[in-house]
Each structure stands twice: as C-alpha cells, then as structure tokens.
Structure 1
C-alpha cells in the first residue's frame, strides 16, 4: 500500500490553530455593568438633586413666598386621611368663612396649648363677631373636650397632605445627619458640577478596543 504524505513548499507558513477567545464572560458582564452604571449614575444624581431642591422650595421657601404653612402630623387622630408623619399644607382663610367639615389647625385652649389639626363639627358666631368652634379627630370616637375661640382674622385650613415626608424631615433634623448634610452636600454638589464641566467628551468616531 502506498502512503501519500503532504509536502510543505519551501517558505510556506505553518498553519496556525483557530483563534479562540478564552476570556471569561464574567469580565464582559462586569464591563457592561460598569458601562450601565456610568450612564445611570449622573441621572440618579440629577434626580436626587432635583428632589432635594423641590423639597427645600416647598418646605422652606414656599411658606415665605406664598403664605402657606407646612406642619407634620404627630398623632393618628386624623387617620386615615392624615397619618402620623404626613405633612399638611395649610392656607389662611378668614375666620368668618369657617364652616363645618373644614380641617383647621389651631392652638388648643387647654393644657400646653399645642397646635392641633382637627375637623370642625360645629361653629358658633356671637353678636360681637367672635367665632368659637368645636372640633373632632376623624379617628376619635368623641368630640374634643373643649370649645376653641378662633383669635385673629384668619385661621389655617388644611388644603393638601404630603404622605410620610415628616418622617424624612425628622430624620434630617437628627444632629449627626444634619451636620453631614450641612457640610457634605455642598462638597458633593461642587464635585458633581466640576465633573460635569471638565469631563472629556467621547468621540463617536473613535474606535473602541475589543
């Protein structure tokens, strides 16, 4: 039997094995994750900054500009309409326009005269123009055990409720967190602005190495 062996011509290149990519797919996944996070992080930072600015405007600037008040509900006496930790937005209305069914904020005439937010259940207008009301918490079984005289020309009526924001405000008022926000927030904001200004723009025509 005759055996035929392949003959390599002088100077011919030796065939190389097929190139196989032995890199782990984990590296590729990590690279994609970093790329996604790099694109998502600036938008998250912008969103957090926007929410912080909006909250500051509503809770700190708005009352001085538009005259409303924001108050944090501490008890569950007005549940489920107003839960503990909710923030109420109240606007001034003339005392002469107070009617049954309104939810108003006023200083209770007994005890420590703290601020209370309850619903008006009865209104009494005297001949001299003074107005007294009796109120009740929606979650309470009985009316408040007092009659309140509304002093001044206006009283604050609840117009809107912002759920659970009060708990966040109380958290921000803790000494450690408030100091961190006071000194850390400006530094983070300045760093983000500098990165936005000095970040080199990627050339779309530039080839990305495999």
Structure 2
C-alpha cells in the first residue's frame, strides 16, 4: 500500500538524463577551481543513530584543500567546542560538503567518507586567520556535482539590494542572554573583540 510520502514523490517528474549524468566520482578541474575560490561551505554529518547535523565552515578562499582528485582536507578551527560534526564522524564517517562562492549562483556538492586526524598528521600549512587547526577531516571523495543556480537566484543571496540591515534583528549577545537565561553574557562589542568563538 502506498504511503503518503510515496504519493508526494509520485507528483515529481523523473530527473533528466543530464541531471543524472552530471554526478562524477572525482574532483575534476572545475570542482578544484570552485573549491579554490570558496570561502564558505556547509558540512553535513549524521550520528551513528541517524540524527543529522549541518555546520558552517569558513576561511580564506581555498581554506578546504584539494590534495588530489579523490581527497579533500578540511581544517577544524577552534570554536565553541561542541564538536558535534566531529563526534558524528567518529561514529559515522559519511559526510557531505556544499561549497559557496560569493557572486556565483551555482554551488558544489561533494560527498564522501571522512577520517579525523590530528592537525600535524599532514605536512601542510593550514594556518588561517593566524590560527592553526586543532584537527583535520580528510574526505575521500565518492561523488561530486554542481547544483544549478535556482535556489541562490531565488534567494537573492548575493544581491546587495536584498541585504538585510543588521539592526532588524537583535544582537547575538541579546539572543544568547535570552536563550541561555544568562544576564552575564557580555555586550556585542566584547563578543566581537574575541570571545565569540567560545559561544
């Protein structure tokens, strides 16, 4: 018997052959160039029992290194020490990265199997913003493909006229005070001066 989900999925037409064919199983020159331009990516993981997590990652353009057509290196910068993604990878090594390049509407998806290593395990200078990583995630690439521009175009993500003024949303310090019920959270200027990564 069909489930409601089956009924919903039945409403979609089949993906075209070109959409299926764009999936490759390595990083070609276009993937490599795009990653080299990207200062921002999202990392998707799931725990051993299936709970998903998605985490932002950022740095100088090319902060994720391409070692070869089958290998990426993602440095992990010190942050709030929740290490949700790393805990997930320790129990379930499957991961996905989505790369963004400001000004380009297409995105790049890369899927693979991850290995966690100490930062000094690789003979690479991974210093970014004056800081060395505490660990690295080495992703063995299994699939990669470019996502079409529709979602980014619809969102107007790179359109300066659709940029939201920061003043329309409370400062992060206020959000933290409310969420944590903690009146001792410092003012925004203090957070921005160097404490933000601890929160």
TM-score band w.r.t. shorter chain: under 0.3
Which structure has the larger Rg?
1
TM-score (norm 2): 0.22
- Larger strand percent: 2
Scaled by the length of structure 1, what TM-score is found?
Answer: 0.21
Structure with greater contact order relative to length (CA < 8 Å, sep ≥ 6): 2
- Greater fraction of residues in helix: 1
